[in-house]
Amino acid sequence: MSHRQKHERGFEAQEENKGQFREEVSVAKEVGTPEEVPPAEVCQETCSSSVPIQATPPRKASEGSGDQAEGGQSTSKAYLYSKYLIKSKLRKKVTDLVKFLSFKYTKNEPVTEEEILKNIIKECKAYYSVIFKHACECMEVVFGIEVKEVDAFNHSYMLLKVLDLTYDGRLSGDEGIPKTGLLVLILGMIFMEGNRAPEKKIWEVLNVVGIFPDQHDFVCGNPRKLITEDLVSEKYLEYQLVPGSDPPCYEFLWGPRAHAETSKMKVLQFFSKVAGSSPTSFTALYKEALKDEEERAQALLASMAIATAPVNSGSGGKRSSFAHPE
The pLDDT value recorded for residue 57 is 38
What per-residue confidence (pLDDT) applies to 219?
65
pLDDT on residue 142: 79
Instruction: Give the pLDDT of residue 211.
Output: 85
Go through the domains of the chain in sequence order and give each one's CATH number: 33-164 (1.10.10.1200), 177-307 (1.10.10.1210)
Rounded distance between C-alpha atoms, residue 273 and residue 211, angstroms: 22
What stretches of the chain adopt beta strand conformation (E)?
Answer: 111-112, 145-151, 156-161, 197-198, 237-241, 250-254
Q: Bigger pLDDT: 4 or 187?
A: 187
Query: 136-177 pLDDT, tens per residue?
Result: 988 888 788 889 999 999 899 999 888 878 877 765 445 556
The DSSP letter of residue 240 is E
The model's pTM is 0.65
Task: For the chain, give the longest Cα–Cα distance.
Answer: 115
Mean pLDDT over the full length of the chain: 75
74-83, 245-254, 279-288: which has the minimum mean pLDDT?
74-83
The sheet carrying 250-254 orders its strands as 197-198, 250-254, 237-241
pLDDT category at 23 given cuts 50, 70, 90 is low
Helix runs in 43-127, H state only: 66-106, 113-116
